[in-house]
Amino acid sequence: MPLPCLPQKELEANQSMRQDWLDRNSDHYHFDHNYLPGMPLLLTTDQGLPFYENFSVKYITERLAETADLSINMLAVPFTSFWDPFDEVKDYERFFPILHRPGIIQTFQTDAAFAEQRLCGVNPVVLKKVEKLEDYFPNTPDLFKKLQTEGKLPSNHNLDQMLKDEVLFVCDYRVLKAVKGGNYDKGRKFLPKPVALFAWISSGFSDRGQLVPIAIHDPEIDRLYTPFNCDANTWLYAKLCVQIADGNHHEMITHLCRTHFVMEPFAIATGQHLAENHPLGILLRQHLRFMLFNNQLGRQRLINREGPVDHLLAGTLPESLQLVVDGYESWNIQEFAFPTDIQNRGVDDVNKLPHYPFRDDGQLLWEAIHKYVKEYLSIYYQIDNDLSLDFELQDWATKLTSPGGGKMKGMPSTFTSLADLPALIELVCTVIFICGPLHSAVNYAQYEFMAFVPNMPLAAYSNVGQDAEKKTISQAELMQILPPPKRASEQLSSIYILSAYRYDRLGYYDDIFQDPQAREVAERFRQELTVIENRIDERNARRLIPYPYLKPSLVLNSISI
């Protein structure tokens, strides 16, 4: 690895070599806006990617070894029938003769575990503060009032008061509107799109309390379920609808779209415009490592016809992919920078919502990454000219924001003076946070929350609850909604393959920094991460359910899986 150098400062003797490298390299990277309509992704060509983008030998051998337990496990699963529903939920526990049994098996039907998953589950980015109930329950304020006057809401559930206290939160899955439902070998699949209402109920002791589910609304039949107005199985059904919706939202929007795919333009523009020894290129390549190759593999083996998304998720394949497109259209890199997203969802106030592990641990990592990026870029960008004359950086930003290139919304298209450096730091910090902490949090939590299928099935296999006339759901009907054994085993396998292996660790790189100053900055970053690791361990010791997914030692540098 050569010494880092801005292009305008490159020795004259090296300039043509630098340009040759860039020309050769950039030949491999082109934008494609047609694979998913309007989305800037990598154009697949016969030429393929440069060798260093492919999984390394270390990656392949280690990942294969980590995944070996899966086939032994699946051979040891006792089977009755492929497609007939199981008799009881407990039967799904048979899928773990060898593999680790997720802890959620013990608690998944409780309201506490249901609410806790909004705060530290696999998809902890949906919960929003309620400003106006009518925004989420257009026809139902009267329904709430009726429940209240009939005494069917507990006395501490005064909605007007809770609204005033700003302790009402909502998960709104109407954004999944593109999905009508696909088919499987024996019939149709369905996707409920409910709106779930929660309240933070303080216990009166400092930060203690808990998030509780208040109501779940099915807009399609305008039916309001609460733990107080329906029997146990029917309430389980309502919560199951939320879990199914959340699983689809997680895989297509949070995980595939808003980590894997929205980062592709950065990898493409970096490959095209930042030379091997450009300081920003050196840093970013570590955090974009293997991603393009991994995403291409995903296109071939996850979102292909008869592949896992087609089989397991609720929609037809085109419907599920439409969720990716919808999730992209409502995303931009500025609004989804970690602290901004937390603020925009109104969940930033620790007095109103004292317990939110994803927010609190994420904040520590955001601050550490921000400081690291600031110190690193400040080594190279010290005066206005350092930025304005850096033509590789300007080309990079132009390509990222141009309509024919990365179409990146929410980032500047030029960085021309030192006054623009904070914006560049913010941008690079956001990229590293999404590639590292955010992706790891939503990727590696998949096993705990999705491997045991009754907690989070990815589709409903019966629409029995969609009958507006039907007042209650029986145990047998619940079992018909859950995926049949064949699909459940496929869900476990796919989830296991996606979350069993960790390639590297945030802040730990191969020997990439030749510059002693950069080495020092990276070393300080690792020390900071160790402090954060200890703080999260302390927090987890006090939490009822530990949240391990943002422990720095479990976070990767890049979206490599």
With beta carbons less than 8 A apart as the criterion, state whether 549 and 444 touch. yes
Site residue total, Mn ion (CB under 5 A): 1
Whose CB is nearest to Mn ion? 443
Q: How far is the CB of 323 from Mn ion (least distance, A)?
A: 16
| Candidate ranges 58-66, 220-228, 357-365, 442-450; the one touching Mn ion (CB under 5 A) | 442-450
| Candidate ranges 354-362, 379-387, 436-444, 531-539; the one touching Mn ion (CB under 5 A) | 436-444
Q: What part of residues 59-88 is at the interface with Mn ion (CB under 5 A)?
A: none
Nearer CB in complex with Mn ion: 26/443: 443
- Tell which residue, 552, 556, 553, has the closest CA to residue 504: 556
Q: How far is the CB of 280 from Mn ion (least distance, A)?
A: 24
Nearer CB in complex with Mn ion: 435/479: 435
Q: How far is the CB of 256 from Mn ion (least distance, A)?
A: 8
Nearer CB in complex with Mn ion: 270/443: 443
CA–CA gap between residue 274 and residue 211 (Å, rounded): 47
Neighbours of 452 (CB within 10 A): 24
Question: CA 263 → CA 35, 39, 384, distances in Å?
Answer: 16, 11, 28
| Candidate ranges 154-162, 337-345, 440-448, 504-512; the one touching Mn ion (CB under 5 A) | 440-448
| Candidate ranges 246-254, 265-273, 343-351, 435-443; the one touching Mn ion (CB under 5 A) | 435-443
| Candidate ranges 107-115, 265-273, 437-445, 477-485; the one touching Mn ion (CB under 5 A) | 437-445
Nearer CB in complex with Mn ion: 53/392: 53
CA–CA gap between residue 128 and residue 354 (Å, rounded): 14
Decide if residue 443 touches Mn ion (CB under 5 A): yes
Query: Cα–chain-centroid distance for residue 461?
Result: 25
| Candidate ranges 144-152, 235-243, 439-447, 544-552; the one touching Mn ion (CB under 5 A) | 439-447
With beta carbons less than 8 A apart as the criterion, state whether 492 and 517 touch. no
Q: How far is the CB of 258 from Mn ion (least distance, A)?
A: 11
Q: How far is the CB of 502 from Mn ion (least distance, A)?
A: 11
DSSP assignment string, 366-428: HHHHHHHHHHHHHHH--SHHHHHT-HHHHHHHHHHHSTTTT--TTS-S---SGGGHHHHHHHH
Show Cβ contacts of residue 119 under 8 Å, excluding neighbours closer than 6 positions. 127, 211, 355, 356, 357, 358
With beta carbons less than 8 A apart as the criterion, state whether 380 and 515 touch. no
Q: Which residue has the tokens 């939503």?
A: 442
**Reduced 3-state DSSP string for 230-268:** CCHHHHHHHHHHHHHHHHHHHHHHHHHHHHHHCCHHHHH
Q: How far is the CB of 431 from Mn ion (least distance, A)?
A: 16
Nearer CB in complex with Mn ion: 120/495: 495
Q: How far is the CB of 275 from Mn ion (least distance, A)?
A: 29
Q: How far is the CB of 262 from Mn ion (least distance, A)?
A: 13
Name beta bridge partners: 213.
198
Q: Which residues bind Mn ion (CB under 5 A)?
A: 443
